[in-house]
Amino acid sequence: MTPDGPAPIGVLVMAHGTPGAARDIGPFYTRIRRGIPPSPEQLADLEARYERIGGVSPLAQRTQAQVDGLARQLAAAAPGRYRVAYGAKHTPPFVEDAAAELADAGCRHVIGLVLTPHGSTLGAGEYLARAAAALGSHPEHPAFHPIPRWYDAPGFAELIGGRVAEALLALAPGARTRAVVVFTAHSLPQRVVAAGDRYPDELAQSAASAATAAGLAGADWRVAWQSAGRTPEPWIGPALLDVICELARGGASAVVACPVGFVSDHLEVLYDLDVEAKAVAEGAGLLFARTASLNDDPAFLSVLAGVVRAADPDGV
């Protein structure tokens, strides 16, 4: 019990994190490379990418707006029941900091929500493992209730499908008839799939559900992977840029990228899609469009609130 009543249910919201300023890009890059500093050429390339989108990514602001909006949605649905904290994988406040904040606040149960729809051992799995370890080592030992995936949450496919339909309607009528929608997510090393990770299957399922919600025929959409790391090992494919070129050769008129694996505007959307993929598409003679990011759309935050409430240990 807290002085004001029953202990709240903690909601630990987790996301990737992003550099706050240009001077932070180098240390950030080293951290995501697991402590291995990038070469001068690699760092210069990443800095140039950030420069193309305004110097820094808006991810930090977008994520904070999502966290604040989710807290408001939960408070409206169940006043006083939930306490929300945010922790990032690569930048302060870290996942461990947020977990400790909730435990220190007296939360005896903590729900773990990662802001990525699909589960994977190298994606949501790493966030949840860090949260579980932090809570397990805390003197209060709160019970942890992880949400490994939520791409199949009620309303999510319809939300994505609506954005697909809007993007298609924005195309000129002549281009719309031969447009192809490509659903994308962040690629991972193929060894993850070889070890039994269901990440590609989940992307295929969520893409199919969103395509159905948008009223697309089977020939009108594809799945591709983007933003693969620059390492020697093979990554999941087909790569988006290769698929764009293939569609051009096949007679498509336009490509609509739908980054269903991402929930906000950030480098992988604003540069990898809006700059790089667009340039490849236009170079191949295709029109290029992208679906609007979810960001802090109240309809999206309502979906997330439903996901959290479904994981409530008391079933509220």
CA-CA distances (angstroms) from residue 306 to 88, 104, 266?
22, 26, 25
pLDDT-based confidence at 5, cuts 50/70/90?
low
- Does some domain include residue 3? no
Q: What gap in Å lies between CA 95 and CA 312, rounded to an integer?
A: 20
Span 127-165, pLDDT tens digits: 999 999 999 999 999 999 999 999 999 999 999 999 999
Mean pLDDT within 162-189: 96
- Residues 31 and 108 occupy one common structural domain: yes
- Does some domain include residue 146? yes
Task: List, in sequence order, every residue forming a beta bridge with 223; answer none if it has no partner.
Answer: 183
- Does some domain include residue 2? no
pLDDT (0 to 100) of residue 231: 85
Q: What gap in Å lies between CA 309 and CA 165, rounded to an integer?
A: 29
- Residues 41 and 55 occupy one common structural domain: yes
CATH number for the domain that contains residue 166: 3.40.50.1400
Sole residue written with tokens 């900091």: 97
pLDDT (0 to 100) of residue 316: 60
Mean pLDDT within 29-50: 93
Span 216-267, pLDDT tens digits: 998 899 999 999 988 889 999 999 999 999 999 999 999 999 999 999 999 9
- Does some domain include residue 116? yes
Span 204-218, pLDDT tens digits: 999 999 999 999 998
In the predicted model, what is the mean pLDDT of the chain?
95
Q: How many domains does the chain have?
A: 2
- Residues 130 and 55 occupy one common structural domain: yes
- Residues 125 and 167 occupy one common structural domain: no
DSSP string, 39-72: PHHHHHHHHHHHHHTTSS-SHHHHHHHHHHHHHH
Sole residue written with tokens 């309303």: 155
- Does some domain include residue 114? yes
| Domain range enclosing 191 | 156-290
- Residues 270 and 302 occupy one common structural domain: no
- Does some domain include residue 1? no
| Three-state DSSP state, 235 | strand
Asked if 82 and 8 count as a contact pair (C-beta separation under 8 A), the reply is yes
- Does some domain include residue 315? no
- Residues 126 and 168 occupy one common structural domain: no
- Residues 258 and 276 occupy one common structural domain: yes
pLDDT (0 to 100) of residue 197: 95
Helix (H) / strand (E) containing 164: helix 156-169
Asked if 121 and 156 count as a contact pair (C-beta separation under 8 A), the reply is no
1 pLDDT exceeds 50? no
82 pLDDT exceeds 90? yes
Span 291-315, pLDDT tens digits: 999 999 999 999 999 999 999 998 7
Span 50-59, pLDDT tens digits: 999 999 999 9
Q: Which range, of 1-10, 96-105, 286-295, 307-316, averages the lowest pLDDT?
A: 1-10
98 pLDDT exceeds 50? yes
pLDDT (0 to 100) of residue 189: 95
pLDDT (0 to 100) of residue 34: 86
